Amino acid sequence: MNSSQLLGITTLAYLLSAILYIAIFVFRAKKLGLFATLITACAFLINTIGIGLRWHESYQMGIGYAPLSNMYESLVFFAWAITLFYLVLELRYKNRVLGAFSMPFAFLSMAYASFSPEFGKEIKPLIPALQSNWLIAHVITCFVGYAAFAVASGMGVMYLLKDRKTNGAPGTLLASLPELKVIDDIIHKTLVFGFLWLSAGIITGAVWANAAWGTYWSWDPKETWSLITWFVYAATLHARFTKGWGGRRIAWLAIIGFISVVFTYYGVNFLLSGLHSYGAR
C-alpha cells in the first residue's frame, strides 16, 4: 500500500469522524462519543503514517524531501494539524461536541487534497528555492497556526449559535453546547496559540526568503496577505487585552480572521502571481 492509498483512507476516516461528532451534537447521541474519538485517533494515526510513507517514497525516488512543498502536501498536513489540535482540545475540555465544529475542517482539507483536479499528487523534485532546511520550519509553524485558527473559527460559530435567545431552554439542541464563558475561553486561548505560531511562521519565512532571494521581505502577494492576516489577529488580541472584548465580537473576528487565512493560503496562490506561485501545484 502506498501513501496515496493511505491518505485516501484518511479522507474517508475523517468524513466518518465528522459525521459522528455532528450526530453527537444534533441527536445528542453521547453513546457515540467514545467511538467518534477512536475513529478520529485512528484517522490521525493513518494520516501520520501516510505523511511518513510519502516522505520515505521521496527518498526511494532519489529526491528525499519533507512532504510539505505544494498544495496537496500542505493540505494533508493541514488536516493532520487540525486533528492533533482538536484531540488535545477534547482531552483538555472533556467535551466531544467540540468535534462537530472542528473535524469538518480536517475532512474538507483532506477531501480537497484528494479530489481536486487543480493540482497533482505526484512526488516531484523540488525547485531550487524549496531546497532548504527552512522548508520544514516555515511550513510547520504556519500550518500549526492555521489549524488553530480553523478550530477557533469553528468555536466562533459555536458561540454565535449558543448566544441565540433560545439557548437557555433545557433539552434544546443549543443546550448541549458548552457554556458561553467556556467557549469564549477556548476561542481566546486558541487565538493566542495560533497567533504565536503564525508569528513564528512569518519570521522563519523571512529568514528563508533572505537565504533564497537575498531579501527578508519583498512585498510578494503571499507575504503581504500573511502580514494582513497577522494584523487581523493582532488587532483581535489587542482589543481583547486592552478593551476587554469578548463574546460575539471575538467570535466574529475569529471567523473573519480565518477567512483571511483561507485567502492567504489558497486565494493568493491561484488568483495572484508572485514568488510563491510554485506552491499552487
Same domain, yes or no, for 101 and 215?
no
Confidence of residue 213 (pLDDT cuts 50, 70, 90): confident
Give the residue from 162, 159, 177 showing the smallest Cα distance to 245. Answer: 159
108 and 157 housed in the same domain: no
When pLDDT is cut at 50, 70 and 90, the band that residue 169 belongs to is: low
Q: Which residue has the higher pLDDT, 214 or 226?
A: 226
Question: Do 66 and 159 belong together in one domain?
Answer: no
> Using CA atoms in the order 241, 246, 252, 255, what is the torsion angle rounded to 10 degrees?
60
Mean of the per-residue pLDDT values of the chain: 92
Residue 281 has pLDDT above 70, yes or no: no
Give the pTM.
0.94
pLDDT of residue 200: 98
Identify the domain boundary among 71, 88, 120: 120
| 11 and 110 Cβ atoms separated by less than 8 Å | yes
Residue range of the domain that includes 198? 127-281
Give pLDDT tens digits for 137-146: 999 999 999 9
The per-residue pLDDT for 170 is 58
pLDDT of residue 126: 87
Same structural domain for residues 39 and 156?
no
- 152 pLDDT more than 80: yes
Name the DSSP letter for residue 119.
S
> Percent of the chain at pLDDT above 90?
75
Confidence of residue 275 (pLDDT cuts 50, 70, 90): low
Of 120, 153, 183, the position where a domain reaches its end is 120
**Number of domains making up the chain:** 2
User: What is the separation of C-alpha 92 from the centre of its chain, rounded to a whole number of angstroms?
Assistant: 19
Non-local CB neighbours of 32 within 8 Å, separated by 6+ positions: 20, 23, 24
Give the pLDDT of residue 273: 59
Q: Taking residues 96-104, what's their average pLDDT? A: 97
